[in-house]
Chain A
Amino acid sequence: MSLPTLPTTVVGSYSMPGWLERLKTEYFARRISRQELDEIHDAAVKAAIKDQEVCGLDVVTDGELRRDNLIDYFAERLPGVQTDHTSKKFYYDFYDSVVRGKLPMASLRLADDFRFLSAFTERATKFCVTGPHTLVKRIKDEYYKNEEAFAMDLARVMNMELKELVRAGARYIQIDEPYYSGFPEDLQWGVKVLNTLVDGVDAKIALHVCYGNRYGKPSWAGNYRYLFPTILEANIQQLTLEFARRGGEDLELFKEFPNKFELGVGVIDVKTHEVETPDIVAERIRKALKFVPAERIFILPDCGLLHLPQEVAFAKLRTMVQGAKIVRKELGG
């Protein structure tokens, strides 16, 4: 499926409706069944796909609306990871998950989600997966006693899953590793684990690194300098970073450390309800173009839209698409 210059997409999640938050929490209070919740999720995902299409995105996701947060959807599916208490006061809370033995190789059943996505859109798709480095920071380890070893085994299990996604038709897979920014000292082994995760996976691999979006606020401060030059060893095709909220200073790093990565440029600040204008978006894209050629740029929000009200998320995506169109026109597209 051919994409225009400066293709637009989301980082992954779409706005979580208040009613869905309440229904998810109702499920944990045992007031609705798993089957009912699955049906609700199906309907919500279809609506999220439709919204992205109406906004004019070139590449759509399932909005990650089946997921309670960036960890638990994977933790409860990873073979060998145990969750002692499967109830929550609020759906967004984390489970206390723990690994007590070597992880067996088994499926996470993520391909079903991808098939659902591709069945309900004609657009190009992207599928997002939380990376091993982030998962080991939230899943308690009582077996490996070593984060790198634990993460490496996670990568092996998940590598099989990524290949299953490719067999199901996924051509664009994004790995989310926000915890790199919280633990920059882990980056050396983090990249090794990442390379194991994507080894032999025949799809465009994007790596999303941000400064956190838990509860819609940043978890860490700093800048992306810590990524370089180590990240250049990663076997990925695209690096997706946040620039809207933090400003574009770190774009200089792409000049300082020449590379062949595509750059997913965050041009929408997801931590404010204020909707950018198309001109502001266009200006942010132009700034990125000074450092990376247009054919290697994707246009995205800084991070997931999970915490934004639906009308704000929708408006921001529309604005993003309009901003991209302005620059495309300037480029003669």
Chain B
Amino acid sequence: MILHVKHIPARQTALAASVASTLVTACGEGEIQPRVLDNLNVHLDWLQYKTNFREAITLRRAVRGQEILPWIEVGVDLRQVQNDSVRQEFVTALKDATDAAASRKRIYFEPYTAIRSGLIWRFNNLFWQHLPLWESAIGHGFEKALPGGTSDANHPEAVADAVADFWTLLKDLEGHNQLPAEIFALEIGVGTGQRAAAWLDRFRALDRERGTNYYPRIRFLLADYSMPTLNRAMEAVKEHRELASFLAVDALDPFKSLSFLRYKVLSIHLTNVYDNLPTDEIVIRDGKLYFVEARAYVNASAANRICETAGVAPTEFARTVSRLLEVGPQHLLHGNVEQGVSFWRSVWDAIRLEERFVAIQSILDAPLPSGVKPGLLENFVGEGVLNQRFHLSSGALESFLNTVPLLHPRGYLQVQDIFVTRFEDYGKMFRGPGKMDGSIVNWVNGALLAEVGAQAGYDVHFAPFHYREGSRTSTLYTTHRE
């Protein structure tokens, strides 16, 4: 057995040592088959997200084609694990690794699939489509779940600085006689609409103060794929209604809806969008690459509890979940919205991902968004990396590549989000996926995004968000690459 100790906060080292000692003892006392022990890698992690898709003890196998490789990985989440039960859970998990019947303890919703295509993203979609129902059930807005209780993007100083930068750009364009008659600014993923409102308020004030009369030429586009969100944003920016338009846009492909604005938009802003877009993951173990596949499940015991509470026959559980995703919570359980939302929240809370690692030859064997030239990525991982797990950030890459063609030659893209800006930083802490209320959150592979940006003709930079102490967000901004 090889023990990997990762992501352990200083105050949890004693717990890590205790758990490690328990596991080593279990192995030493012969509770694990020697054949399993020879191929066993145990990863002790502290998972950053309080709610996520993993069990306290998670087993992962690797496959090459149809062959199951002897190598076994066990992930131990120190946040969830109970010291007094860890030994038994560990032994049971490893027994399950060789016991086909073990899977009967789980109710699977899908076969193994690429993470970005999995069922959890349908739940994520459900959350944004039925946001008011969820918020009504929990008694507060979704932004409360964010660190700090609100989006960093709404910070007044950050907005003021963004407006000042934009005004300077407009002034410069005007100086070169290149200011367009219509000044397009686009926000994708509008949240509550507060940022857009604050931006427009501030811009109008600055414009009046400096007497430039740019404000009436602003065409502010608010884009989101969730109609409830757009409706809420519409209310937030009502003072600027004549300048604002509201568009249903898929964040993965803004160009599809907005191609008429090709090379015309001077400022594009996204906040907390990329971290909520589908992604895949790559794992490096002993220097070899694996693509992560997963299947969503709920433990049979949890399913029984949920069914009992909701008055659903256990045999109808999977079908009811499927119906939830198809028609929404308001049409479940005889139209009792409260019970429907409760069922939804319970299922979401109970959903876990069972993972397997599929051996690949190189990163080029992983599905890359169209438009990403594979040549440069061959060297992305670099040599000598033996153990790492990282996001491909498929959705973020796709969104980026389908957004930048909207940019005016002097325009820029700003994305406020949680970015891993250096590949090696993936080793420093758990980067998701986690659950944020009813949605999914993943850190975004900023290092890879920078490579892809360069291929598309944009230098990608990251600036830490310095307006709120302790903020982990940073701002990606583009400059045109010479």
Using a CB–CB cutoff of 8 Å, the interface residues on chain A facing chain B are: 18, 21-22, 25, 90, 94, 138, 211-212, 214-222, 271-272
A217 to B482, Cβ gap below 8 A? no
- Majority secondary structure, A binding face: loop
Interface positions, chain B 164-192, Cβ under 8 Å from A, are 177-178, 180
**Which of B178, B373, B481 interacts with A222 by CB under 8 Å?**
B178
- Cβ distance B105 to chain A, nearest Cβ, rounded Å: 48
| B263 part of interface (Cβ distance < 8 Å) | yes
| B470 part of interface (Cβ distance < 8 Å) | no
**Which of B177, B374, B456 interacts with A215 by CB under 8 Å?**
B456
User: Which residues from chain B contact A221 at a C-beta distance below 8 Å?
Assistant: 178, 180, 263, 408-410
Interface size on B, residues (CB 8 A): 22
- Cβ distance A31 to chain B, nearest Cβ, rounded Å: 11
Question: CA–CA, A325 to B224, complex, Å?
Answer: 45
**Which of A25, A90, A217, A220 interacts with B405 by CB under 8 Å?**
A217
Q: In chain B, what residue has the closest Cβ to A24?
A: B375
- Cβ distance A188 to chain B, nearest Cβ, rounded Å: 17
- Cβ distance A249 to chain B, nearest Cβ, rounded Å: 14
Q: In chain A, what residue has the closest Cβ to B454?
A: A90
Q: Mark B260-293, 1 if CB is under 8 A from A, else 0.
A: 0011000000000000000000000000000000
Q: In chain A, what residue has the closest Cβ to B410?
A: A221
B376 to A90, Cβ gap below 8 A? yes
| B148 part of interface (Cβ distance < 8 Å) | no
| B64 part of interface (Cβ distance < 8 Å) | no
Q: 19 A-B pairs, CB-CB below 8 angstroms?
A: A18-B373, A18-B375, A21-B373, A25-B375, A211-B409, A212-B409, A214-B457, A215-B457, A215-B481, A217-B263, A217-B457, A218-B263, A220-B178, A220-B409, A221-B178, A221-B180, A221-B408, A221-B409, A271-B262
| B144 part of interface (Cβ distance < 8 Å) | no
User: Which residues from chain A contact B177 at a C-beta distance below 8 Å?
Assistant: 222
Question: CA–CA, A25 to B410, complex, Å?
Answer: 29
| B480 part of interface (Cβ distance < 8 Å) | yes
Question: CA–CA, A222 to B409, complex, Å?
Answer: 10
- Cβ distance A258 to chain B, nearest Cβ, rounded Å: 25
Using a CB–CB cutoff of 8 Å, the interface residues on chain B facing chain A are: 177-178, 180, 262-263, 373-376, 404-405, 408-410, 454-458, 480-482
User: Which residues from chain B contact A218 at a C-beta distance below 8 Å?
Assistant: 263, 409
Question: CA–CA, A21 to B375, complex, Å?
Answer: 8
Q: In chain A, what residue has the closest Cβ to B480?
A: A219
A22 to B375, Cβ gap below 8 A? yes
Q: In chain A, what residue has the closest Cβ to B376?
A: A90
User: Which residues from chain A contact B454 at a C-beta distance below 8 Å?
Assistant: 90
Question: CA–CA, A65 to B457, complex, Å?
Answer: 19
Question: CA–CA, A222 to B177, complex, Å?
Answer: 9
**Which of B373, B376, B480, B482 interacts with A94 by CB under 8 Å?**
B482
Question: CA–CA, A216 to B454, complex, Å?
Answer: 12
Sample of 17 further A-B pairs with CB below 8 A, known A221-B263, A221-B408? A18-B373, A18-B374, A18-B375, A90-B376, A94-B482, A214-B457, A214-B482, A215-B457, A215-B458, A216-B457, A219-B409, A219-B480, A221-B180, A221-B410, A222-B177, A222-B178, A271-B262
B376 to A217, Cβ gap below 8 A? no
Q: In chain B, what residue has the closest Cβ to A272?
A: B262
Question: CA–CA, A81 to B44, complex, Å?
Answer: 57
Among B180, B263, B458, the most chain A Cβ lie within 10 Å of the Cβ of B263
- Cβ distance A304 to chain B, nearest Cβ, rounded Å: 14
- Cβ distance A140 to chain B, nearest Cβ, rounded Å: 12
User: Which residues from chain B contact A219 at a C-beta distance below 8 Å?
Assistant: 409, 480
User: Which residues from chain B contact A211 at a C-beta distance below 8 Å?
Assistant: 409
User: Which residues from chain B contact A18 at a C-beta distance below 8 Å?
Assistant: 373-375
Closest 10 A/B residue pairs (Cβ): A215-B457, A22-B375, A218-B409, A221-B409, A220-B409, A217-B457, A219-B409, A222-B178, A218-B263, A221-B178
